[in-house]
Chain A
Amino acid sequence: MRTGIFFCQVEDGKSLNIDKIAKYAANLPGVETVQILGMKPRLNAQTLCDLIKNNQLERIVIAGDMPGYYKPVFTKAMAMAGCNTDEVRLASFQEHGAQGEVALDRAKATVACANMAVPFALVATPTRNPVNHSTLVIGAGIAGIQASLEIANAGKHVYLVEQTGTIGGHMAMFDKTFPTLDCAACILTPKMVYVGQHEMIHLLTNSKVTEVSGKPGAYRIKIRQRARHVDVDSCVACNLCSEVCPVKVESEFDSKISFRKAIYIPFPQAVPNAYLVDGENCTFILTEGQKCGVCLKKCPKECINLNEPDKDMDIEVGNIIITTGYELLDVGKIEQYGYGKYPNVLTSLEFERLTNSSGSTGGRIVTKTKQVNKKTGKEEWSFTPDGIPPHNVAIIHCVGSRNKKYNSYCSRVCCMYSLKFAHLIKEKIPNVNCYEFYIDMRAFGKGYEEFAERIKHEGTFIIRGQTAKVEMANEQMIVHGEDIMNDKMVQFKVDMVILAVGLVPAPGTEYLSRILGITRDSDGWFSELDYNGNPTETERGGIYVAGMCQGPKDIPDTVAQASAVAAGVLGSITSGKGIGHLSSVSLSDIEARAKIIHTL
């Protein structure tokens, strides 16, 4: 059949090389003419009709991002030329996923299919691989824990890989959850213990995924497990080793507001409930056994082995779930709030650890006290249980969020946790003045608006308008802002400032996206396949995302998404159909199959 192929671009197709596709199209069987009409062409049915007549075209293929847009004019031209109007075929690049690495081949394939009048979807069916029944979960926060438990409870094997020494993630650091003010640990720790004891979950703490190969349904993973130096099975967490350890390091789990030893347990409810050695700070390991080693002598169970090497292991899994979560934006670069400059300016996570009853002050909210370091003679500010409680606290929303210089997106949870902070402060300190500076109150979930109203009625001063800066005058912090509702400039003397810092993807996100071959959006979060219809799958088959690593979300949404991921994974395992993915289908496959269908 004599075919004319017309390229009509709607968007600026920088990602696609139209000339290459046109060259390919010119060599397809039956193609009479190939024309590139350019960006948003203004077409005239009469000239097209002449073109059809001159070339004696019997079929038209419109190729482009949105070829349907030009179908009416071509149909009209075909009718005017007296041809069969059904023979206007579309080759839609966008619709058939011509994006990313496969863009060019996919675009060529759509053109080839349209040329042979074969529906693309009929041809481009991936071959399905049998699925390995094991699943890999990367990141053991609440999302990873929830997904692992769902899958393991269905009787399938799960490898749960966690970078730090304990599972639990950020939720383990929290005191209360909004809006119900449930104790976070009461929800999380039973799940953590369950994970630790579950026969179908292989827990790999202190571990990192280093290499991924294979195809959907059969991924081969290399995992590097850093030496824990403590035997998990025999350690009874008696704390004797930690007592004698001479090395003091800022505790990551406590958001660096308190100190831990080089041999430590992140928090008392850690799973696995065993100590671990920080190889980067342990004197014995750094001096290669020359110095220290007191913990070895002290341990009653003799479970410490400071010479333990790192382990590499290879596993095979069918599906991979990424639940790597987030971290806080580096708030030190937002200078106007004086973080790092004034001692009592805290980030949200620091405050979360301060108010947590397992924190360094036992849950008392206090301001930092000055102490002179005897060794260096420098002044140091730290939280002590007998510190002075603040009388005035300012909580500043949207620090680094919705800000074109830092994160242009809304971090979604800050409004609510800030309100929760106000409640906790009001609850713990009598007669405290709490000021919330907000731009827009985003109370978007079930019960959230009611929670916001409740906090207002508790007597927190909720001020619309962002604080412009925090200043120090005579040892007194002053926050400057504009009260927009009352049309006033406000200055408050405060003892503590809490910054509701925006969220950014966890530091390993970029690395993971590279080794797994999945894309991230412009803000760095993992891209899902379809925001509305397919929020957990990625463009690579058998790899899923859940929780914060896909975009900021609160705990209920994270847990819901984690469960949804588990459903997808279990479906792929139990359906017996195997996993296939379009990315595995090559251009030559599509061509060959299209030919077969065409001849039928």
Chain B
Amino acid sequence: MAIRINPRFIDDLNRYGAEDVQLCYHCGDCTAVCTHSDEIFNFPRKSMRRLQMGLERKIETTLEPWLCYYCGTCSDQCPREADPGETMMSLRRWLISRYDFTGIARQFFKSIVTEILAVIGIALLTGLFLFYYGYTQGSITVYDGDGAFLPSSFIHKFDLLVGLVLAVFLIINAFRMWYFIMIKGTSFNIPWWLYIKYIFTLPWHFLTQKRYAECEIKNEAKIHMPWIVHLGLMLGYVIMLLLVMVFIEKLQYGPEIDWRVHIFGYLATVGLVIGTIYFIRNRFNKTKYVQYKKSHSTDWVFITMLFFIVLTGIAQHVFHRTGLLELANYIYIIHLMFVVPWLLRMPFSKWSHLVYRPLAMYLAAIQRDVITKREVISESLSISVK
């Protein structure tokens, strides 16, 4: 079977953040020290090797990069300072751009200018549209009820529209990921019932991020800060997304807000505030964790935008509750100007690992099942031959 080699793959990956792959001399330290590396899925050394050899198609169809949660132990211990952890991270970025059928992700990862221009463009479009809409049918001084500047029923529809676009992109990309890994990258047949057998891994990994916690065991710390904060941040924005997508009309209606919605809103806000501040601080203060030493431009765009979304969201809430309705409306538009590009950017950025990670765990569990069985069979065969 012919294997295609892309000799410029390693240079290409430079743009995604992996700069030192060439330094690796394959001592295997990283693989041996990794918590998640095992007989069936061993990395990062193997990925480094494939990268050096330019086996683009091979990497495209593997799950390994998704099984790494970047605890940084491998990079810490690497004798060549080849930074395998960052390489896995870059491979994830590259894979996101491969799964994305539009090619937008590739442009975003490669050029910060393109990304910022796209974000600003969409933000301006959103802002103009909302202003136009608000002035034609309402008054800037009214926040909710009749004649509201941005009535929640309209925002609800608007949100659902954005959500729909998001979902279309993500579902197609996830489908492509499945196709790459399970059809192109798997040489054996996978029985359909395994897909049902392991379906529980999807919500399990999505909600607990158990493997991220396992990563931290290595560091022998009692509290796994990056995991807890990451989980808090993730749950925060998932809850917030649900609130905004489904319960927005309850969220914005009058002075008497349903306390159930209220509680969740505040919890999510706490998670988001702590999360964004924690990650921004770590990315500035590079000494504490290896995984935050190098920040790709897309990381910064993601975290700063999220930070402003949280800020404007809180401000909007405060102004709304204190009766400064005109200000609340302005802030609301600014808030949405951040939210819309941020959401639309999601399928083309690292943020989409929200979908890919659990999916990868799910597919990995299936593959592992098949491979272990096959190995048992082949071993028993070889014994009987002997």
Which chain A residues have a beta carbon within 8 Å of chain B's beta carbons?
Answer: 336, 398, 402-405, 439-440, 464-469, 480-484, 487-489
Contacts and interface: CB of A to CB of B under 8 A. Distances in A.
Interface in B25-42: 25-33, 37-39, 42
B79 interface: yes
B29 A466 contact: yes
Nearest to A438: B27
B28 A465 contact: yes
Contacts of A488: 39, 42
Specify which of B31, B32, B37, B80 lies most central, judged by the most chain A CB atoms within 10 Å of its CB. B32
Contacts of A482: 28-29, 31-32, 42, 45
A480 B33 contact: yes
Interface string B35-62: 0011100100110000000000000000
Nearest to B32: A468
Given A480-B33, A484-B28, 5 more contacts: A403-B80, A465-B32, A469-B33, A480-B32, A484-B45
Contacts of A336: 33, 77
A563 B25 CA distance: 37
B81 interface: yes
B72 to A, nearest CB: 14
Contacts of A402: 25, 79
11 contacts: A402-B25, A405-B81, A465-B28, A465-B31, A465-B32, A467-B32, A468-B28, A468-B32, A480-B33, A482-B28, A489-B32
A37 B266 CA distance: 67
A405 B79 contact: yes
B42 A465 contact: no
B40 to A, nearest CB: 10
Contacts of B33: 336, 468-469, 480
B29 A468 contact: yes
Contact of B32 (A403, A404, A481): A481
B220 to A, nearest CB: 12
Contacts of A466: 27-29, 32, 79
A489 B37 CA distance: 8
Contact of B26 (A398, A404, A468, A484): A484
Interface of B: 25-33, 37-39, 42, 45-46, 77, 79-81
A489 B42 contact: yes
A398 B27 contact: yes
A415 to B, nearest CB: 14
A481 B29 CA distance: 7
A403 B79 contact: yes
A469 B42 CA distance: 17
A467 B25 CA distance: 14
A483 B26 CA distance: 11
B49 to A, nearest CB: 9
Contact of A404 (B28, B29, B31, B81): B81
Chain B interface mostly helix, strand, loop or mixed?
Answer: loop
B27 A465 contact: yes
Contact of B79 (A404, A464, A481, A484): A404
A439 B32 contact: no
A210 B27 CA distance: 44
A466 B31 CA distance: 10
B62 to A, nearest CB: 14
A397 B275 CA distance: 43
A34 B263 CA distance: 79
A163 B40 CA distance: 56
A466 to B, nearest CB: 4
Given A482-B28, A482-B45, A484-B28, A468 B37 contact: no
A404 B77 contact: no
A442 to B, nearest CB: 12
A487 B79 CA distance: 20
B170 to A, nearest CB: 34
Contacts of A439: 25-27
Contacts of A404: 79-81
B73 to A, nearest CB: 9
Given A402-B79, A404-B79, A405-B79, A481 B28 contact: yes
A102 B39 CA distance: 60
Contacts of A483: 28
Given A468-B28, A469-B33, A489 B79 contact: no
Nearest to A403: B79
A319 to B, nearest CB: 40
Contacts of B45: 482, 484
Nearest to B39: A489
B25 A489 contact: no
A489 B40 CA distance: 9
Nearest to B82: A404
A489 B27 contact: no
A465 B30 CA distance: 10
Contacts of A403: 79-80
A481 B39 CA distance: 12
Contacts of A468: 28-33, 77
Contacts of B37: 489
Nearest to B78: A404
Specify which of A405, A439, A440, A468 lies most central, judged by the most chain B CB atoms within 10 Å of its CB. A468
Contacts of A489: 31-32, 37-39, 42
Contacts of A398: 27, 79
A406 to B, nearest CB: 8
Contacts of B38: 489
Contacts of B31: 465, 468, 482, 489
Q: Closest 5 CB pairs between A and B? A: A468-B32, A482-B28, A465-B28, A403-B79, A466-B27
B27 to A, nearest CB: 4
B142 to A, nearest CB: 64
A488 B39 CA distance: 6
Contacts of B32: 465-469, 480-482, 489
A483 B46 CA distance: 11
A336 B80 CA distance: 16
A488 B38 CA distance: 8
Specify which of B30, B33, B39 lies most central, judged by the most chain A CB atoms within 10 Å of its CB. B33
Contacts of B79: 398, 402-405, 466
B47 to A, nearest CB: 13
Contacts of B46: 487
Nearest to B49: A484
Contacts of B27: 398, 439, 465-466
Specify which of B31, B42, B46 lies most central, judged by the most chain A CB atoms within 10 Å of its CB. B31
Nearest to A490: B32
A464 to B, nearest CB: 8
A440 B26 CA distance: 9
Nearest to A406: B79
A180 B101 CA distance: 63
Nearest to B40: A489
Contacts of B80: 403-404
A336 B77 CA distance: 9
A469 B29 CA distance: 8
A468 B81 CA distance: 15
A299 B80 CA distance: 57
Contacts of A487: 42, 46
A439 B30 CA distance: 13
A404 B30 CA distance: 15
Nearest to A399: B79
B187 to A, nearest CB: 16
A494 B39 CA distance: 21
A404 B25 CA distance: 12
A481 B26 CA distance: 12
A440 B39 CA distance: 23
Nearest to B34: A468
A529 B53 CA distance: 40
A355 to B, nearest CB: 27
A336 B29 CA distance: 11
